[in-house]
Amino acid sequence: MVAAMQTDYLERFSTMPPRNGIYIDTQMEENGWTAEGLVGAWLFLENHPQAYGAPVVMVSADEAGCEEAQQFLGNVEMAPTKRRLGRNQAISKHPADACDLIREKATAALARLSDFTPFTRPALYELEGTCYTAEQAQVRAAKNPAAQMQGDRSYVVRVDTPLDLLL
């Protein structure tokens, strides 16, 4: 299901021109969600024909999104445009400042293209879960044949593909 959603997203938005014909426009929030979805699709489906096998060289998101992307992508250029304070609360950069930062980081990324390689997913995926009770942990672990109990209230699942974590 996740792969189907990412494939649909990639096929709909990877070739879609901006609505007003300008690539740097004022639809920052909408463009941000589309860009985030495309990056996710490119990372999750790196062998899809529209993923192009291109490396991700720059990410713009909130600070937490940039930090998370850096864990997966390494030393890519980051352009954090807001800091999350809580649910529906953030300190955002002024749109002009955000555009300047994104332009600066994109330019820096393009200047060092040879530093980047396409993302490849790890060969083994691991999901650890800790529950409130031993019974909860046993019930959850029983749902996935690859799960193993780790102590009274914890289990771990180790699989070859991320989709196998969803069983």
Residue 139 has pLDDT above 60, yes or no: yes
Given this model, what pLDDT does residue 25 score? 44
Domain shared by 136 and 77, yes or no = no
Domain shared by 39 and 102, yes or no = yes
- Whether 100 is covered by a domain: the verdict is yes
Report how far residue 26's alpha carbon sits from residue 61's, in angstroms, rounded to the nearest whole number.
16
Q: How many structural domains are present in the chain?
A: 2
- Whether 151 is covered by a domain: the verdict is yes
Domain shared by 75 and 95, yes or no = yes
Domain shared by 138 and 97, yes or no = no
Q: What is the pLDDT of residues 7-46, one digit of tens each?
A: 665 566 566 665 555 554 444 445 555 555 666 665 666 5
Alpha helices in 14-164 (DSSP H): 28-44, 63-73, 95-111, 134-142
- Considering only the C-alpha atoms of the chain, give the largest distance between any 2 of them, rounded to a whole number of Å: 58
Q: What is the pLDDT of residues 80-135, one digit of tens each?
A: 999 888 777 888 899 889 989 999 999 999 999 999 887 776 678 888 899 999 99
Domain shared by 61 and 102, yes or no = yes
Report how far residue 41's alpha carbon sits from residue 46's, in angstroms, rounded to the nearest whole number.
8
Report how far residue 74's alpha carbon sits from residue 57's, in angstroms, rounded to the nearest whole number.
10
Q: What is the pLDDT of residues 4-16, one digit of tens each?
A: 655 665 566 566 6
Q: Which residue has the higher pLDDT, 150 or 1?
A: 150
Q: Which residues contact 144 (CB under 8 A, 6 or more apart)?
A: 157, 164, 165, 167
Q: Are 62 and 32 in contact (CB under 8 A)?
A: no
Domain shared by 83 and 9, yes or no = yes
List the domain range (segments joined by +) for residue 153. 125-166
Task: Count other Cβ atoms within 10 Å, centred on residue 79.
Answer: 21
Domain shared by 23 and 104, yes or no = yes
Domain shared by 106 and 130, yes or no = no
The residue whose two tokens read 């990877």 is 14
Domain shared by 89 and 44, yes or no = yes
